[in-house]
């Protein structure tokens, strides 16, 4: 149950997006996809989920080409959250969460646990468009986790971007739990500190090419980050002895 | 539960409106009254009531399918050019019939096949030209639909111009939208069966239709084969529109307003929305045809299409305002 991205290139009519990207995401591990804006993260995630056909290269899940999965098989194997899900869906929160299993057997107990963890119980009968963007994102995360089956692949494009810090932490904790139970998690994010604390592995994209991939602490080298983002980073030690990556210039300003 | 109860109320209301259509009596120059008609009048009224119910149901369902598929509250058989395509098909057939046989075929009520061909041709053009990066794009579909609708409307005017003045009057009345009082029973059975068949088929896809509202990537990722679903929905919407146009000519706003009404009353889930839109379409069109029976402005009974356009536009504005407030 491994996601293998092999020599993926993709060109849009106006510009190239990805050039010869090869990497592997393994089961039981959370892999963060990092990179500046327009570095190709969303394109790579859509290709990895089998939703976009690459110009060249292949993506396999458990040895099978994801682009050739039948719709129901893909639903059972890969759960996906896009960067900008629609906000005007005329359904209730409960109905949207249930849609995660529209082609799968219902799992009401699993749904209840997810709803409780993401603190959505009081919102269940509310119309989805009436929620804040952060609440809507929690609903979509719940839908994706409800869809996920044991040993499957979960791909999320900036899942915590619109969330407050506590719900972002809850979401990442739930993803880590899934990984511990054998899931393969691939998610993009911009918060380098959060990525370093919640991920096992990282892929760093720079201008459509893979700058580095591997264990998160090996990838998130301050010099490499400065090259990819044009911003200095440094490790700081927290009171509990753990380390946190922060943008150097902001850190200096706080001091 | 409350939503299901509302659907039941709508069904009862539709039955009441249909009954009212049978009872409303107003002879030319006479006064308005409610009376159970004699056998000969009953046949005319029953035919008109059934024809209006089928057309209303078809337009309501076609509108709901198109609005969901395009995720666009302004989509309707008219916006996408389907009605105009069906109308053009009928007009061409009527003109060919006139130049070959010497008499044009009866409008409305006959010519289902050319209407279906016209609707499907218009839909195919809209579907093929409304794609972006290999996928049907909701915005591009609507833009192409508006252009196809305009071109087909121009074509209808062209063929109307080619026939003699007397026939031109019949074409003009048909173009306004008219519920016929004389239609062979087998045709009503056929059109009613198409309407119910499309509904039953789409009802089975209702949960996939719900998922399609979330967006292309989201719906594909939960296992909805979006390309196939869109093709099936377009085919159903085309067949339903062709039936409606064949029976009554182009009738505006019912296909636009009925799904909005249903969404407000029974919610957005398609398992209730699809039958709800059909029933709302029946209430709107049979209701409008009943109202038309009661109105006498001295120039004969007006075509129902005039009433649906005037009232439907106003109702649509009210619904739009209510939805904007809710959002």
DSSP for B101-161, written as a single string: HSSPPPTTT--HHHHHHHHHHHHHHHHHHTEETTEE-HHHHHHHHHHHHHHHHHHHHHHHH
- Closest-CA distance of chain B to residue A49, Å: 8
Return the residue of B nearest to A78 by Cα: B221
Look at strands B33-34 and A30-35 and give their pairing: unpaired
Q: Do A225 and A184 belong to one domain?
A: no
- B197 touches A at CB < 8 Å: no
Q: Do A170 and A228 belong to one domain?
A: no
Give the count of domains, chain A. 2
Which chain B residues touch A76 with a CB distance below 8 Å?
223
pLDDT of B29 higher than 80: no
Q: Do A96 and A206 belong to one domain?
A: yes
Range of the domain at A158: 3-214
Q: Do A154 and A247 belong to one domain?
A: no
Q: Do A147 and B269 touch (CB under 8 A)?
A: no
Q: Please state, in angstroms and rounded to a whole number, the distance separating the CA atoms of residues B247 and B49.
A: 12
The per-residue pLDDT for B104 is: 58
Q: Do A70 and A52 belong to one domain?
A: yes
Q: Please state, in angstroms and rounded to a whole number, the distance separating the CA atoms of residues A191 and A95.
A: 31
CB B64 within 8 A of CB B259: yes
Domains in chain B (CATH in brackets) are 2-26+35-326 (1.10.3470.10)
Q: Please state, in angstroms and rounded to a whole number, the distance separating the CA atoms of residues A220 and A233.
A: 9
The per-residue pLDDT for B72 is: 77
Q: Do A175 and A243 belong to one domain?
A: no
Q: Do A86 and B211 touch (CB under 8 A)?
A: no
Q: What band does B40 get if pLDDT is binned at 50, 70 and 90?
A: confident
Q: Do A52 and A146 belong to one domain?
A: yes
From first to last of its 255 residues, chain A has per-residue pLDDT tens of 899 999 999 998 888 899 999 999 999 999 999 999 999 999 999 999 999 999 999 999 989 999 899 999 999 999 999 998 888 898 999 999 999 999 999 888 999 999 999 999 999 999 999 999 999 999 999 999 999 999 899 999 999 999 999 999 999 999 999 999 999 999 999 988 888 889 999 999 999 999 999 999 899 888 888 888 888 888 888 888 877 888 876 555 444
- Closest-CA distance of chain B to residue A72, Å: 5
Q: What is the pLDDT of residues B60-110, one digit of tens each?
A: 999 999 989 888 777 888 878 888 898 898 888 888 888 887 765 655 556
The per-residue pLDDT for A255 is: 45
- Closest-CA distance of chain B to residue A18, Å: 17
DSSP assignment of A84-137 equals S--S---SBHHHHHHGGGTTS---HHHHHHHHHHTT-GGGTTSBGGGS-HHHHH
Among A194, A229, A186, CA closest to A45? A186
- Closest-CA distance of chain A to residue B136, Å: 15
Q: Do A53 and A111 belong to one domain?
A: yes
Q: What band does B203 get if pLDDT is binned at 50, 70 and 90?
A: very high
Q: Do A104 and B326 touch (CB under 8 A)?
A: no
Instruction: Give the mean model confidence (pLDDT) for residues B46-68.
Output: 95
Token pair 């044991």 is found at A150
Q: Please state, in angstroms and rounded to a whole number, the distance separating the CA atoms of residues B140 and A166.
A: 41
Q: Do B210 and A85 touch (CB under 8 A)?
A: no
Residues comprising chain A, all counted: 255
Q: Do A136 and A234 belong to one domain?
A: no
Among A57, A80, A50, CA closest to A9? A57
Residue of A14, A43, A48, A90 to mutate for B, most B C-beta atoms under 10 A: A90
Q: CB contacts < 8 Å between A and B, how many?
A: 80
Q: Find the Cα–Cα–Cα–Cα dihedral B236, B238, B244, B247, rounded to 10°.
A: -110
- Mark B105-123 as b/e (b = at least 16 C-beta within 10 Å): bebbbbbbebbbbbbbbbb
Nearest to B224 among A71, A86, A127 (CB): A71
Q: Do A85 and B225 touch (CB under 8 A)?
A: no
Lowest mean pLDDT of A151-155, A240-244, B149-153, B250-254, name the range.
A240-244
The per-residue pLDDT for B114 is: 84
Q: Is A8 helix (H, G, I), strand (E, B) or coil?
A: strand
On the 0-12 / 13-18 / 19+ scale of CB atoms within 10 A, A169 is middle
- Closest-CA distance of chain B to residue A80, Å: 6
The per-residue pLDDT for B138 is: 67
The per-residue pLDDT for A253 is: 44
Please give the share of chain B, as a percent, with pLDDT higher than 90.
39
The per-residue pLDDT for B108 is: 53
Query: How many other β-carbons are positioned within 10 Å of the β-carbon of residue B30?
Result: 9
Contacts by B35-44, CB closer than 8 A, 24 or more apart: B44/B181, B44/B182
Q: Do A102 and B223 touch (CB under 8 A)?
A: yes
Which chain A residues touch B223 with a CB distance below 8 Å?
71-72, 74-76, 102-104
- A131 touches B at CB < 8 Å: no
- A71 touches B at CB < 8 Å: yes
Among A239, A223, A242, CA closest to A231? A223
Q: Which two tokens stand for residue B15?
A: 């039955």
Q: Find the Cα–Cα–Cα–Cα dihedral A177, A182, A116, A242, rounded to 10°.
A: 10
Q: Do A121 and A145 belong to one domain?
A: yes
Among A82, A40, A49, A11, CA closest to B133? A11
- Closest-CA distance of chain B to residue A159, Å: 14
Q: Do B269 and A95 touch (CB under 8 A)?
A: yes
Q: How far is CA A103 from CA A7, A100, A148, A242, in A?
A: 32, 8, 12, 43
Q: Do B217 and A129 touch (CB under 8 A)?
A: no
Mean pLDDT of chain B: 86
Q: Residue B188 CA to chain centroid, in angstroms?
A: 15
Q: Please state, in angstroms and rounded to a whole number, the distance separating the CA atoms of residues A195 and A187.
A: 9
Residue of B71, B218, B272 to mutate for A, most A C-beta atoms under 10 A: B218
CB B72 within 8 A of CB A88: no
- Closest-CA distance of chain A to residue B10, Å: 20
Q: Please state, in angstroms and rounded to a whole number, the distance separating the CA atoms of residues A79 and A148.
A: 6
- Closest-CA distance of chain B to residue A109, Å: 19
Q: Do A39 and A150 belong to one domain?
A: yes
Q: Please state, in angstroms and rounded to a whole number, the distance separating the CA atoms of residues B161 and B153.
A: 12
Which chain B residues touch A147 with a CB distance below 8 Å?
221-222
The per-residue pLDDT for B98 is: 81
Residues 6-45 of A with CB under 8 A from B: none
Q: Do A151 and A251 belong to one domain?
A: no
What's the CATH number where A136 sits? 3.40.50.300
Lowest mean pLDDT of A44-53, B43-52, B138-147, B286-295, name the range.
B138-147
Quote the pTM value.
Answer: 0.86
Q: Do B222 and A100 touch (CB under 8 A)?
A: yes
- B3 touches A at CB < 8 Å: no
Q: Do B207 and A49 touch (CB under 8 A)?
A: no
Q: Is A163 helix (H, G, I), strand (E, B) or coil?
A: coil
């Amino acid at each position: 149950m491994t996601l293998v991205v092999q020599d993926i290139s993709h060109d849009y009519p106006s510009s190239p997006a990805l050039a010869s990207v090869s990497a592997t995401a393994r089961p039981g591990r959370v892999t963060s996809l990092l990179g500046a804006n327009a570095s190709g993260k969303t394109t790579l995630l859509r290709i990895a989920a089998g939703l976009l056909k690459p110009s060249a290269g292949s993506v396999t899940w458990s040895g099978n080409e994801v682009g050739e999965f039948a719709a129901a098989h893909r639903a059972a194997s890969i759960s996906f959250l896009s960067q900008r899900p629609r906000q005007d869906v005329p359904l209730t929160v409960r109905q949207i969460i249930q849609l995660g299993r529209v082609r799968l057997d219902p799992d009401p107990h699993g749904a209840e646990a997810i709803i409780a963890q993401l603190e959505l119980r009081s919102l269940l009968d509310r119309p989805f468009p009436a929620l804040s963007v952060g609440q809507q994102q929690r609903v979509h995360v719940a839908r994706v986790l409800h869809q996920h089956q044991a040993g499957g692949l979960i791909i999320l494009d900036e899942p915590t971007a619109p969330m407050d810090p506590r719900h972002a932490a809850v979401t990442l904790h739930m993803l880590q739990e899934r990984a511990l139970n054998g899931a393969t998690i691939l998610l993009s994010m911009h918060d380098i500190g959060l990525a370093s604390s919640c991920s096992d592995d990282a892929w760093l994209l720079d201008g459509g090419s893979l700058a580095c991939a591997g264990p998160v602490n090996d990838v998130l080298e301050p010099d490499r980050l400065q090259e990819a983002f044009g911003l200095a980073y440094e490790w700081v030690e927290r009171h509990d002895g753990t380390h946190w990556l922060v943008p150097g210039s902001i850190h200096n300003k706080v001091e | 539960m409350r939503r299901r109860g509302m659907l039941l109320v709508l069904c009862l209301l539709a039955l009441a409106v249909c009954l009212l259509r049978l009872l409303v009596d107003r002879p030319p120059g006479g006064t308005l009254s409610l009376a159970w008609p004699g056998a000969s009048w009953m046949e005319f009224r029953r035919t008109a009531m059934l024809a209006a119910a089928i057309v209303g149901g078809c337009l309501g369902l076609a509108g709901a399918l198109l609005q969901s598929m395009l995720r666009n509250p302004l989509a309707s058989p008219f916006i996408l050019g389907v009605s105009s395509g069906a109308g053009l098909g009928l007009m061409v057939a009527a003109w060919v019939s006139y130049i070959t046989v010497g008499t044009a075929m009866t409008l409305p009520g006959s010519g289902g096949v050319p209407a279906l061909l016209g609707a499907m041709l218009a839909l195919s053009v809209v579907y093929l030209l409304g794609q972006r990066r290999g996928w049907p794009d909701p915005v591009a579909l609507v833009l192409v639909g508006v252009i196809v609708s305009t071109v087909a409307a121009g074509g209808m005017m062209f063929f109307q111009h080619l026939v003699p003045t007397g026939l031109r009057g019949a074409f003009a009345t048909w173009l306004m939208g008219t519920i016929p009082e004389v239609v062979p029973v087998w045709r009503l059975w056929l059109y009613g069966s198409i309407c119910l068949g499309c509904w039953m088929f789409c009802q089975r896809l209702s949960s996939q239709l719900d998922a399609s509202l979330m967006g292309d990537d989201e719906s594909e990722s939960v296992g909805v084969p979006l390309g196939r679903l869109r093709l099936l929905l377009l085919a159903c919407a085309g067949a339903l529109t062709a039936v409606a146009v064949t029976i009554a000519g182009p009738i505006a706003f019912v296909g636009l307003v009925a799904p909005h009404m249903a969404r407000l009353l029974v919610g957005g889930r398609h398992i209730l929305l699809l039958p709800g839109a059909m029933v709302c379409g029946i209430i709107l069109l049979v209701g409008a045809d009943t109202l038309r029976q009661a109105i006498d402005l001295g120039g004969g009974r007006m075509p129902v299409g005039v009433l649906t356009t005037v009232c439907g536009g106003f109702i649509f504005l009210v619904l739009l305002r209510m939805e904007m407030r809710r959002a």
